[in-house]
């Protein structure tokens, strides 16, 4: 396993997790994943706390609305699962731990989040501004990592929610952050239309070049299963968080499938244990 670990905001591998109209491509931000793979990072996709709290049909909200005791408690639960995985992936040490957040987000902002007053009640036009600061989720995650004695990663905010988002310039900035001398091909075409297709993939597949290339090119968003070697309790929570997201997508008419393999069989049994029907199973190239 690589000793370079990347904690990835969920939506950077699955734009279906974004609140409606904030997606910049149908599924995964493929050039971003390719940069992480080229730099030799083991990718650990984090659950989306907004998605697991309010689902894929949630309204736009600002940081003030998410800054509640209940949401922070939920973020601590999700962050605990991230910490469980990090303890496993960094068990033999970690040379470089990075976190890719989403600047402009009320939850996942790293250097920039949003601010609005008078939000609440019937959805409608409201004033919103961007301010310096971290989103609620990033704040809580860093607190939990410190409390567990884990390293706090160096962070970068990918500006998909900022005005004037420029994919080529953003991927070049990420390449520099990752220590890559240059970035070939640049960014991606902005296509603000979510694919409404989700592929649940084995842990290792997200880090392997070409493992899910056909699905990524076809606009599928990716949800990563937890790694092997977690305690039974940690594995159960991690699978539950994936299942919570996937089941909400399915209830809202998205196509949800799993990539064929032993980990998919384990996940199918987990779904059955929850009293839910398993998802369809696909092979690469389908």
| DSSP letter string, the chain | --SEEEEE-GGGT-GGGSPTT--SSSS--HHHHHHHHHTTPEEEEPP-HHHHHH-TTPPP--HHHH-SHHHHHHHHHHHHHHHHHHHHHTTT--SEEEEEEETT-TTT-SSEEEE-SS--SS------EEEES--HHHHHHHHHHHHTTPPPPEEEEE-TTSTT--HHHHHHHHHHHHT-S--SS-----------EEEEE-GGGGGSTTTTHHHHHTT-EEEEPPPTT--HHHHHHHHHHHHHHHHHHHHTT-EEEEESSHHHHHHHHHHHHTT-PPPEEE-TT-
Segment 37-46, tens digit of pLDDT: 999 999 999 9
Q: How distant is the alpha carbon of residue 62 from its chain centre?
A: 19
What is the chain's mean pLDDT, rounded?
94
Q: How confident is the model at residue 74 (pLDDT cuts 50, 70, 90)?
A: very high
Segment 201-259, tens digit of pLDDT: 999 999 999 999 999 999 999 999 999 999 999 999 999 999 999 999 999 999 999 99
pLDDT at 284 exceeding the cut of 90: no
In this prediction, residue 31 carries a pLDDT of 97
Give the percent of the chain with pLDDT over 90: 86
In this prediction, residue 122 carries a pLDDT of 87
Least confident of 51-55, 103-107, 280-284: 280-284
pLDDT at 8 exceeding the cut of 60: yes
pLDDT at 23 exceeding the cut of 70: yes
pLDDT at 285 exceeding the cut of 60: no
In this prediction, residue 101 carries a pLDDT of 98
Average pLDDT over residues 133-144: 98
Q: How distant is the alpha carbon of residue 12 from its chain centre?
A: 6
């Amino acid at each position: 396993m690589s000793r370079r670990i990347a904690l990835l905001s969920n939506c950077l591998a699955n734009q279906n997790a974004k609140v409606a109209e904030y997606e910049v491509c149908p599924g995964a931000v493929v050039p971003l994943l390719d940069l992480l793979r080229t730099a030799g990072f083991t990718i650990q996709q984090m659950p989306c706390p907004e998605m697991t709290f309010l689902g894929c049909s949630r309204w736009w909200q600002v940081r003030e609305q998410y800054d509640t005791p209940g949401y922070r408690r939920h973020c601590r639960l999700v962050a605990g699962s991230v910490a469980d995985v990090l303890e496993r992936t960094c068990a033999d040490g970690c040379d470089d731990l990075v976190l890719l957040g989403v600047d402009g987000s009320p939850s996942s902002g790293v250097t920039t989040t949003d601010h609005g007053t008078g939000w609440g009640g019937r959805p409608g036009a409201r004033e919103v501004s961007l301010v310096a600061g971290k989103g609620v989720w990033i704040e809580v995650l860093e607190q939990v990592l410190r409390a567990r004695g884990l390293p706090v990663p160096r962070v970068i905010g990918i500006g998909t929610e900022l005005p004037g988002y420029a994919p080529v310039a953003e991927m070049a900035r990420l390449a520099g952050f990752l220590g890559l001398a240059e970035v070939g091909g640049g960014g991606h075409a902005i296509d603000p239309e979510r694919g409404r297709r989700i592929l649940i993939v084995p842990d290792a597949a997200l880090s392997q070049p070409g493992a899910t290339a056909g699905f990524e090119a076809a606009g599928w968003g990716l949800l990563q299963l937890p790694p092997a070697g977690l305690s039974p309790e940690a594995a159960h929570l991690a699978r539950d968080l994936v299942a919570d997201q996937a089941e909400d997508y399915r209830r809202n008419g998205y196509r949800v499938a799993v990539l064929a393999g032993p980990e998919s069989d384990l996940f199918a049994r987990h779904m059955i244990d929850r009293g839910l029907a398993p998802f369809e199973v696909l092979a690469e190239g389908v």
